[in-house]
C-alpha cells in the first residue's frame, strides 16, 4: 500500500512538473476580446519612424568583408558581411549622414550616405599586407568579432 501511494505521488508530481508550464501559458477565454458591435481598440503606438541605410564596401579586388562602417552622429556602427554588405537602422528624419569606413591596411574613407535611397557603394584601395599590418589586422578582427557578439547579445 505504501509503495502504491508513493508511486502515485511520484506520477502526479511528474505530471504537474511537465504540464504546469503549459497551463501557465494558456490564455483565459475572453481576454483581449470585445463584444460584437463595439469599436476596435486603438492601435498601439509604434516607435519612432526609422529608415534603413544599406550598401556595400569593396575594393578593386572585390567585396570587402570585415570593414567597419561608423555613423558618428548616432553612435552606430556595423561590420560588413562576407559579400561586403552592411545594414544600419537610423531615424527617418536623419537626412544625409556622414560616415566613416575603415579596414586595416586601407586608408579611412569619409563619405555621406542618404538613408532610404539606393544602396551605397564605397570603394577602398586594396590593403597592402606587411608583417606589421598582419598583426594589426588580427587585433582588428578580434575586436570586430567582439563588437558583433556584443551587438547580437543586445538584440536578444
For the stretch 95-143, pLDDT in tens is 888 999 988 778 889 999 888 788 889 998 876 666 666 777 777 778 7
Identify whether the C-beta of residue 57 lies closer than 8 Å to the C-beta of residue 84: yes
CA distance between the termini of the chain: 51
Identify whether the C-beta of residue 56 lies closer than 8 Å to the C-beta of residue 86: yes
Of 66 and 32, the structure prediction assigns the larger pLDDT to 66
61-67 average pLDDT score: 88
* pLDDT score of 26 more than 60: no
SS3 122: strand
Distance separating alpha carbons of residues 57 and 70, to the nearest angstrom:
12
Of 38 and 106, the structure prediction assigns the larger pLDDT to 106
* pLDDT score of 154 more than 70: yes
Q: Give me the domains of the chain, ranges plus CATH numbers.
A: 50-155 (2.60.40.1120)
* pLDDT score of 27 more than 70: no
Of 115 and 25, the structure prediction assigns the larger pLDDT to 115
Q: Which residues contact 86 (CB under 8 A, 6 or more apart)?
A: 54, 55, 56, 57, 67, 69, 78, 79, 80
Any bridge partners for residue 109, and if so which? 101
Q: Which of 4-13, 42-51, 97-106 has the lowest mean pLDDT?
A: 4-13
What's the confidence (pLDDT) of residue 56? 93
* pLDDT score of 51 more than 70: yes
Amino acid at each position: 500500500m505504501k509503495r502504491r501511494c508513493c508511486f502515485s505521488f511520484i506520477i502526479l508530481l511528474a505530471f504537474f512538473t511537465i504540464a504546469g508550464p503549459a497551463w501557465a501559458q494558456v490564455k483565459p477565454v475572453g481576454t483581449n476580446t470585445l463584444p460584437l458591435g463595439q469599436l476596435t481598440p486603438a492601435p498601439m503606438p509604434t516607435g519612432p519612424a526609422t529608415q534603413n541605410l544599406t550598401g556595400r564596401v569593396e575594393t578593386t579586388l572585390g567585396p570587402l568583408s570585415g570593414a567597419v562602417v561608423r555613423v558618428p552622429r548616432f553612435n552606430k556602427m556595423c561590420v560588413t558581411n562576407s559579400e561586403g554588405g552592411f545594414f544600419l537602422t537610423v531615424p527617418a528624419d536623419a537626412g544625409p549622414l556622414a560616415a566613416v569606413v575603415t579596414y586595416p591596411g586601407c586608408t579611412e574613407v569619409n563619405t555621406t550616405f542618404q538613408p532610404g535611397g539606393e544602396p551605397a557603394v564605397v570603394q577602398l584601395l586594396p590593403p597592402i599586407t606587411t608583417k606589421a599590418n598582419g598583426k594589426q589586422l588580427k587585433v582588428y578582427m578580434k575586436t570586430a568579432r567582439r563588437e558583433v557578439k556584443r551587438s547580437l547579445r543586445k538584440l536578444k
